Amino acid sequence: MLLTVLRQRSSARSCCAASRASPPITACGCARGASQELIGRIMPYNIKGEDPPPLTTSESSKVLVEWEGGAYTMGDAFQDLRNGQIPRPNFNVMPSVERWLGLRAIERTALLEALRRQLDQDPDLQRASASASTTTCSRAT
């Protein structure tokens, strides 16, 4: 247990030092009317119990959330909703959809920041990730 605490402290110190060394990517927020557009594109088909038809190229490239260095588009939202790996928002409540869009932007921003800082190449994080996935797999069986 002590070894785990020491590793966590060491990891926290190195992350803090890395964050001071380089400026973070900042999120800007939802585009005006983004949640309404997503609701309007999905709800009519949800009410009927059908899947929405594929997006056109212009619909797919519509920016819902934008930040310095990237954007989350309608196509990205549809892909996330179809994957089923991320909980769906309550499309009957607009703040729920706005929060969901914001969380997707934060998730993408955090991933870009981690890759920019090369955290995917940190041996300590790779070991922790491998042990976490092994633990998850052993619990599932």
Domain boundaries, the chain: 27-118
- Mean pLDDT calculated for residue range 108-116: 84
What confidence tens digit (pLDDT) does each residue in 35-91 have?
999 999 989 888 888 888 999 999 999 999 988 878 999 999 999 998 888 899 999
Judge whether 74 and 61 are in contact, CB under 8 Å. Answer: yes
User: pLDDT confidence of 5, banded at 50, 70, 90?
Assistant: very low
Residue carrying structure tokens 């519509």 = 62
Tokens read off for 126: 């790779």
